[in-house]
Structure formats: structure tokens, C-alpha cells
Amino acid sequence: MFIELDELEDFFDSRYVSDEPYTPRYNIAPGAKLEVIPNDRPNAITKFHWGLIPFWADEPEEGIINARSETVGNKAVFQDAWESRPCLVLSSGFYEWQQRPGGPKQPFRIYRESTPGFAMAGIWDVWEGESQRRPSVSILTTEPNELMAPIHNRMPVILPREHESTWLTAGPEQRASLCQPYPKDDLARYEISTAVNDPTNDTATVVEPLDHQQSGLDSFS
């Protein structure tokens, strides 16, 4: 999520309440923290560890970053969170990698053209140890829509704006009906540099279109 804080709060009609300062991020890897709106605080934006940590884990670990929406209710690690702890995972866009014959995977950025961000469907839980407490989150995935199918066989459950509040308040059966490939045509994609493969590359250059970066290099040389 890399929009400015005031825009983030206005767009989602919520206030940032995390003790950690908000910093725009361009390259967030599993195990880092994501901005979320949890169902127990539907007007608050906070930060959760990306990777749901099983309650039985002896120590906090990276966790499970994604959960298949088709089977999430049947997996012991997700059952409690699926039943009672939905959340919105806030995003300026996401990255996916396309496997190409005879070469490395090509990264793409996928984003919503008409708005500065969107909410993905998530579930959350809290891992508790003797000396720490760690809220964590998994992102729900589903079958790809037409935009995503050429790139990957899964995509996050992106919620249309009119379904965001429903996701937070509905029961499991109704939420399951929302776990569909994104139904609208306001998503766009473009190729980006493999610099995104290194999480330490966390600057605005990560989201530049690949042809723009190559043009810049040609001009420089």
C-alpha cells in the first residue's frame, strides 16, 4: 500500500490506529505487515503480520500467506478465523509472476484503474506466546478472471466496493458466495522489472512499467 495516509483513510472511511507509523510501501514480502481493517474494528486501519500463524505453533513463524477460498472452511488451521474473523486487506495493487518457456518468470503489477486502492478478502487470527501477541492474516484466493488467467491460475479475492462492509459483517456462508473472480473490468496489468523479486527494492521505481524503465536506460546510455 503506497498511497498517502490521508488518502488511505479517506478512501476506506477509516482511521489509522496502529502504534507503528504508516509508511508507504512498494514491495511487501510475506512476513512483513499489511494494512488491514478487522471485523472487530470496522472503522480502524491497523497492521497485521502477513502469514496466518497457527495457534499451536511453539514460536511465531512466517505463517500461511494465502488460503484457498474453496477449502478454507475445511482446514483446521483456518477454521476459527474463517468462522468469525474476516478482515479487509488494503492494497494499491499486487504482483504476480508469469512462467514463460525457457526463461525466468515475468512479474506483473495488477491494479484498479479507477481508484487508488482496493480491498482483498482476508481472515485473521492472533498467535499468543509467553511474552508476545501477534495478530496475523491470510489473503483468500480464487480462480483467475480473464485478466489474470494468462498470468497465473489463482488470484486474490478482490472485493467490489459494495461488498466490503458485507465481508466484515456476514457469516461464513454469505462470505463464501463473495469469493469469486473479480467480476469487473476496471483492473489493469503491466509488466514490471524483476527488481521486485528482491524485497529490499522498496521504492517507486518498482511499479514503473517495464518499457518505461527500458526506455530510461536507453536514454541514459
Distance CA 51, CA 68 (A): 14
Give the distance from CA 22 to its chain's centroid: 16
| Whole-number pLDDT of residue 61 | 82
DSSP track, 72-133: GGG-TTTHHHHHH-EEEEEES-EEEEE--TTSPPEEEEEEETTSS-EEEEEEEEEEE-SS-E
pTM score, whole prediction = 0.93
Q: φ and ψ at 181, to 5 degrees?
A: -55, 140
Burial of 185 (0-12, 13-18, 19+ CB in 10 A): exposed
**CA angle in degrees (0–180, nearest 5) for 31-12-161:** 100
Distance CA 54, CA 100 (A): 34
- Please name the residues in contact with 76: beta carbons below 8 A apart, sequence gap of 6 or more: none
Q: pLDDT tens per residue, the chain (221 residues)?
A: 899 999 999 999 999 999 999 999 999 999 999 999 999 999 999 999 999 999 888 888 889 999 999 999 999 999 999 999 999 999 999 999 999 988 899 999 999 999 999 999 999 999 998 888 999 999 999 999 999 999 999 999 999 999 999 999 999 999 999 999 999 899 999 999 999 999 999 999 999 999 855 444 333 32
Domains within the chain, CATH numbers bracketed: 5-93+114-186 (3.90.1680.10)
Sheet strands side by side (includes 187-191): 94-98, 106-112, 187-191
Residue ranges with strand state E in the chain: 15-16, 33-38, 44-50, 66-68, 86-91, 94-98, 106-112, 118-128, 133-142, 155-156, 158-159, 187-191
**In the structure grid, which three cell numbers stand for residue 90, read together?**
488494503
**In the structure grid, which three cell numbers stand for residue 121, read together?**
478478502
Pairing type for strands 94-98 and 86-91 reads: unpaired
| Whole-number pLDDT of residue 219 | 32
| Whole-number pLDDT of residue 212 | 56
